[in-house]
Amino acid sequence: RLVPEDITTLLSMTQPLKLRGYQPWEVFCDAVANMVNNPLLPPDGKGVMVALRPVPGIRVEQALTLCRPNRVGDIVSMSDNRLMLFLSFCRVNDLDTALNHIFPLPTGDIFSNRMVWFEDNQIAVELVQMRTLSPEKVSKPLPATAQNNAQAKKIINAEHDGTSWRRIPEPYRLLSDATEQSS
């Protein structure tokens, strides 16, 4: 039987679900660890972790500015020249759908290589590896990234319809109010 302290502990383990977007490396690793170790969540169904290596000519910091998670629980960080995403409750078969929602360009244009983990054990093993990364190898986001994350919807005036990106038309009046009043 659960006593109140256990409930508090279990509830606190669901906190990472409240994160969204870019997280410093340590925070990212802790959040993913809390998810995979949470016995309240379905076994091997916590989500998908994916590592994306940018094509030559695109720095990982630049790729991060294109990464705009919408769903609370979708988090991203940067390691040694790779973007690391954790998409909570995303199924592995839906990974491309989710990535299409998150990036405004086809991911094949931005990234040359991807690695995917979705079982608890795989993620736990990779986490051990991730935590050995020395701090000087961890990239820092460009100053604009935090702002971009907050304003992503306003900066790109387009929406994804499931297959491709379409601009959202904006109505324009050819005559300004001033012109109308003077005529």
- Binding residues vs ligand C2E (CB under 6 A): 70-72, 74, 87-91, 94, 97-98, 101-102
- Closest separation in Å from C-beta 162 to ligand C2E: 6
Q: Which is nearer to ligand C2E, 83 or 98 (CB)?
A: 98
Q: Which is nearer to ligand C2E, 70 or 179 (CB)?
A: 70
- Closest separation in Å from C-beta 121 to ligand C2E: 20
Find where tokens 């769903």 sit. Answer: 71
C-beta of residue 76 within 8 angstroms of C-beta of residue 22: yes
- Closest separation in Å from C-beta 113 to ligand C2E: 21
Q: Which is nearer to ligand C2E, 55 or 72 (CB)?
A: 72
- Closest separation in Å from C-beta 5 to ligand C2E: 29
Beta-bridged to residue 51, according to DSSP, are: 84, 115
Q: Which is nearer to ligand C2E, 29 or 76 (CB)?
A: 76
Question: Cβ–Cβ contacts within 10 Å for residue 84, how many?
Answer: 22
Please report which residue ranges of the chain form alpha helices under DSSP H: 4-12, 25-36, 60-65, 95-102, 107-110, 120-131, 144-155, 177-182
Instruction: Report how far residue 181's alpha carbon sits from residue 131's, in angstroms, rounded to the nearest whole number.
Output: 66
- Closest separation in Å from C-beta 179 to ligand C2E: 38
Instruction: Report how far residue 89's alpha carbon sits from residue 21's, in angstroms, rounded to the nearest whole number.
Output: 15
C-beta of residue 54 within 8 angstroms of C-beta of residue 63: yes
Q: Which is nearer to ligand C2E, 47 or 54 (CB)?
A: 47
CA angle 46-20-32, nearest 5°? 35
